[in-house]
Structure 1
Amino acid sequence: MVYKSNPPKPNPPKSNPPKSNELPTSNSSHGFFPKVSVVIPIYNGEEDLQELIACLLAQTYPKEQVEYLLVDNNSSDRTLTCLQTAAEHCPITIRPLREVQIQSSYAARNTGIRAASGEIVVFTDADCRPQPQWLEALVQDFVKPNVVMVAGEIAALKSKTFLERFADRQETLSQKHTLANKFCPYGQTANLAIRRLVLEKVGLFRPYLTTGGDADICWRIQKEGIGSLEFAANAVVQHRHRATFDELASQWRRYGRSNRYLHELYGIDLMRAITFQECCFRLIRWIVKEVPKFSFKAILGKASLIDILTTPIGLFTARARYYGQMEAKLPEKAKIIDWL
């Protein structure tokens, strides 16, 4: 069984996690609390660590049933020192690890998996902000033996710039897009849990892959027909959107590289070219039809600048994705799968 329908949109939490060292307790007296290992790869994440660890401290999951494996991926800032300090002083189990041989978040995740002792391995990222009920909500579906993967929702942090508000409107980060992938559903590693037993059977991440590894591991698991991928809408992590055009272009070029790599690994369809002529046609139509329409609505308070500029920004991201796809080529080493 594979998750195929569009998942419901969660209500993003409005409150920020507590920043004290007080540990919350679970509201559920009869919950399902297996031993869990949370793996978080970190590269130059010093600025994110304080908020990240505050979010981990705020988790309602029983602290004796979870370990946090924070893997420094050869950072050049004070990430490792900060991790070691947190491990010494926090009332939760934080295990600082290092991956210095391969510069890839997937290699760092593999290092965490190898050191993990939990029966469920959970993944998120250093720039994510897990909400207090996140871990507890994420693992509940594993009470069903046929469930081998669970994806939680990824909501946006409060938007500060116009581009962040645009991406929020488009729900760029939401798992509902990846879970509805026409080739095969998958969950992004910003919010994903997998049974360790399954990783023993199908292997770990491809350590030399730099993007697309979340789709790859989910597809390998589903290809084996081992069990189902479920969606936990209430297991929410928040993530920041790209704030500048350079960051936005980099993000969509990376999506394009992922397309190319997965095409070479699985034969998925590549994104078609958007020609210069098509861009011109769509921009002319935008100027003639959409700008007057949404400008009038904006005067009436029924539209915003985001509505007016959706078409040109959409063309910008589509072109960036296409260029990323055309420039990329899967390295031979990236086909290697690590094993426990």
Structure 2
Amino acid sequence: MTSPRISVLIATADRPALLAECLESLSLSRFSGAEVLVLDQSRREHTLPPERNSGLVVRHLRCPRRGKSAALNLGVREARASWLAFTDDDCRVAPDWLEVIGRAAGEPGIGCALTGRVVAGMPEGEAVTAPSLREMDREMTFRAPSFRDVLFGNNMAIPAELLRRAGCFDEGLGPGTTAPAAEDNDLGYRLLRAGVPIRYLPTMTVTHRSWRSGQEQVRLYRGYGVGQGTFYGKHLHRGDLHMAARMARNVWDAGRDLGGAIVLGRRQDVLSTWAFARGLVQGFVQAAWSGSGGRAGAATLMEER
């Protein structure tokens, strides 16, 4: 059997309808030579939809360990391709997503991670607009850490060997742990520190579906804050003073955004930003003191992806 050129990794937990639409979007690709690894941590068994693209092989792997990062690391071990691509089960990839990655991966001597545009889908029913928007219009290459995160976990690709050398994902960070976010930010930071560039391609596009209610979004932002603060605190505990500056900048930005939302009367933004700020401080203090990330298997945060 010919080895695939790209392995697409999708972690999922108890969201079969969202997963089915994500897989449907992948099936619209004309790219041949890809496999999809569904890394399933669902409590109940469910059947994957039939494959519509004969050039796309879907492998359904049960993951007994809790946490998105643990699932993705399982996928890294099981993947057969030399390039790994990542998206989330609540995203839809553009029809040419795999082709864009494949063209970049085929460039001679490429040795970087790829990331791309993340746009919000239209709100579904009573849902609010999805977060994590990245809509820069020009291609960029990042070569050193800065005050922003540049690798987007729901839209990224990387040579498998580079990811394995970087140590894969920190299993104390990400959904399904007590620090339920920032596993992608942590990976991106470690790659840049190791001299691995991150290249942003505006043509590499996914849509983050807007399916959460306002209350669910507030919980999501709290988790984002805890994860981000834990990421900062973990590295600060290890002597990386850059993270103290990043934390201060993030608190300042959150305060500015909160003030603006209050002035403009945007209640949803006020609640979400305040939840993020509280989580940020909580995660930072805990990790800066202990020097570790979260713990796997936090049931109340398991589904905050």
Tell me which residue corresponds to 2:59: 95
Residue pair 1:157, 1:240 contacting (<8 A) in 2 also? yes
Q: 1:141 aligns with which of 94, 104, 115?
A: 104
- The 1:324/1:223 distance shift into structure 2, 3 A limit, reads same
Matched, 1:248 2:217: yes
Q: Distance in 1 between matches of 2:230 and 2:9?
A: 24
Q: 1:194 aligns with which of 158, 170, 181?
A: 158
Q: Deviations over 1:219-245 (max 9, x none)?
A: 11111113x211121221111235422
Tell me which residue corresponds to 1:272: 251
Q: Distance in 2 between matches of 1:77 and 1:221?
A: 36
Amino acid at match of 1:154: V
Matched, 1:325 2:288: no
- The CA RMSD over aligned residues, in Å, is 3.4
Shift of 1:144: 4.6
Q: Distance in 2 between matches of 1:279 and 1:215?
A: 23
Question: What SS does the aligned partner of 2:112 have?
Answer: strand
Residue pair 1:274, 1:319 contacting (<8 A) in 2 also? no
Q: Distance in 1 between matches of 2:60 and 2:93?
A: 19
Task: Name the one with the larger helix percent.
Answer: 1
Matches within 5 A, 1:1-340: 35-62=5-32, 65-73=33-41, 75-79=42-46, 82-83=47-48, 86=50, 91=54, 92-101=56-65, 103-142=66-105, 143-160=107-124, 164=128, 167=129, 172-174=132-134, 176=136, 182-183=146-147, 185-210=149-174, 211-226=181-196, 228-241=197-210, 243-267=212-236, 268=243, 269-270=246-247, 271-272=250-251, 283=262, 286=263, 309-310=265-266, 312-328=267-283, 329-330=286-287, 334=293
Q: Distance in 1 between matches of 2:18 and 2:182?
A: 23
Shift of 1:274: 9.9
Amino acid at match of 1:334: G
Residue pair 2:29, 2:97 contacting (<8 A) in 1 also? yes
Unaligned runs of 5+ in 1: 1-33, 291-308
Residue pair 1:184, 1:219 contacting (<8 A) in 2 also? no
Amino acid at match of 1:70: V
Q: How many residues align?
A: 265
TM-score by length of 2: 0.75
TM-score by length of 1: 0.68
Residue pair 2:19, 2:89 contacting (<8 A) in 1 also? yes
Amino acid at match of 2:123: S
Amino acid at match of 2:199: E
Q: Distance in 2 between matches of 1:58 and 1:281?
A: 41
Shift of 1:200: 2.7
Larger radius of gyration: 1
Q: Distance in 2 between matches of 1:99 and 1:317?
A: 31
Tell me which residue corresponds to 1:8: none
Instruction: Report the identity percentage.
Output: 21
Residue pair 2:6, 2:82 contacting (<8 A) in 1 also? yes
Q: Distance in 2 between matches of 1:57 and 1:216?
A: 30
Unaligned runs of 5+ in 2: 175-180, 237-242, 296-305
Question: What SS does the aligned partner of 1:154 have?
Answer: strand
- The 1:280/1:51 distance shift into structure 2, 3 A limit, reads closer
Shift of 1:266: 2.8
Amino acid at match of 1:78: E
